[in-house]
Amino acid sequence: MENSYDVRKGDPGHPHRHDFYTVLLVEKASGQHFIDFNEYPLDQQQVFFVAPDQVHHVIEASEPKGYVILFSTDFLVKNNIPVQFIDQLNLFHDFGQAPPLKLSEEELHQLKFYCEEMLSLSESDFGFKAEAIGSLLKLFLIRCNNVCSLNETIRPENDHAQAILLEFKQLINQKHKEWHASSDYAKALNISPDYLNRIVKSKTDKTTKEHIQSRIIVAAKRLLHFTDLSSKEIGFELGFSEAANFSAFFKKCVGMSPSTFRERA
């Protein structure tokens, strides 16, 4: 992180998105990290996880200390790490809240060790170094998963519910422009809307409706920020038959109109 800060001369740049995964291991920093337009303070002993296509923006108040790990889906495949492994970890969130994982001194020390090893390998002529880095990356993510409070309640007997939650989230990413009702997702999963809502609520403390609305709002914010499409065009793109319905929905969820959000973004 120090090298990146020096290269940029402290310039935070602009909100942006990538088609690869980003992990920030923050040893010490001050400032803000915006992920999908949600603000999180930069502090110490943190790990941030940013999924492909998420909008993020790091604004440091001073030179930070830590590590940045970037990896693609292709890298996972080439190193025999199933993409499903990333989904099952519950570390990367494609939409909604993405708060950092807080670490103890011991946990930070172990994750720093993995980062130093990956950095050393990347700069070496070590044989099979990509495979070695892949193994260290997997260990890094598993270690993070084991300290993630979101997973404390996940036990073997809840595997079925966890699988349903994962399928539900995948469906939202694929169908949020077409399906706005919980019943659409429940039907696709061959379960009742009430049962789906109970599972989602128990696992995430959010209802199915809140997840669906959150995904639509994130898509709307990305389009407002990165395109010149009008609010009417964005509404149609996201499955709203009337522009007024989209504007009312956006204002209810965000607290401001689409045009005001675009001006402030």
SS3 content of the chain, % helix, strand, coil (to 5): 55, 15, 30
What distance in Å separates the CA atoms of residue 20 and residue 256, rounded to the nearest whole number? 31
CB 73 within 8 A of CB 84: no
When mean pLDDT is compared over 2-16, 90-104, 136-150, 171-185, the highest value belongs to: 171-185
**pTM summary value:** 0.82
Q: pLDDT at residue 151 above 90?
A: no
What is the number of other CB atoms lying within 10 angstroms of the CB of residue 237?
15
Instruction: Decide if domain 2-151 falls under CATH 2.60.120.280.
Output: yes
Residue ranges of alpha helices (H) inside 97-207 are: 105-122, 129-147, 159-175, 182-188, 193-204
The per-residue pLDDT for range 235-253, each reduced to its tens digit, is 999 999 999 999 999 999 9
**How many angstroms separate the Cα of 244 from the Cα of each of 28, 188, 220, 249, 251?**
46, 29, 14, 8, 11
What distance in Å separates the CA atoms of residue 196 and residue 161, rounded to the nearest whole number? 9
Q: What are the extents of the domains in the chain?
A: 2-151, 156-264
Confidence at residue 103, expressed as pLDDT on a 0 to 100 scale: 95
The per-residue pLDDT for range 55-65, each reduced to its tens digit, is 999 999 999 99
Q: Which of 126-130, 175-179, 195-199 has the lowest mean pLDDT?
A: 126-130
2-151 with 156-264: one CATH topology? no
CB 27 within 8 A of CB 108: yes
CB 58 within 8 A of CB 24: yes
Q: pLDDT at residue 256 above 90?
A: yes
What distance in Å separates the CA atoms of residue 228 and residue 119, rounded to the nearest whole number? 40
Helix (H) or strand (E) holding 3: helix 2-8
Confidence at residue 158, expressed as pLDDT on a 0 to 100 scale: 53
pLDDT, average across residues 87-93: 82
Tokens at 74, concatenated: 């292709």
| Mean pLDDT taken over the chain | 91
| 3-state SS track over 243-257 | HHHHHHHHHHHHCCC
The more confident residue out of 217 and 85 is 217
User: Hey, is 198 helix, strand or coil?
Assistant: helix
CATH number belonging to the domain at 156-264, selected among 3.40.30.10, 3.40.50.1220, 1.10.10.60, 3.40.50.2300: 1.10.10.60
Rounded to whole angstroms, the maximal C-alpha distance in the chain is 60
Tokens at 168, concatenated: 């539900």
What distance in Å separates the CA atoms of residue 125 and residue 58, rounded to the nearest whole number? 32
Tokens at 56, concatenated: 């993020």
Q: pLDDT at residue 219 above 70?
A: yes
The per-residue pLDDT for range 107-129, each reduced to its tens digit, is 999 999 999 999 999 999 998 99
What distance in Å separates the CA atoms of residue 195 and residue 105, rounded to the nearest whole number? 40
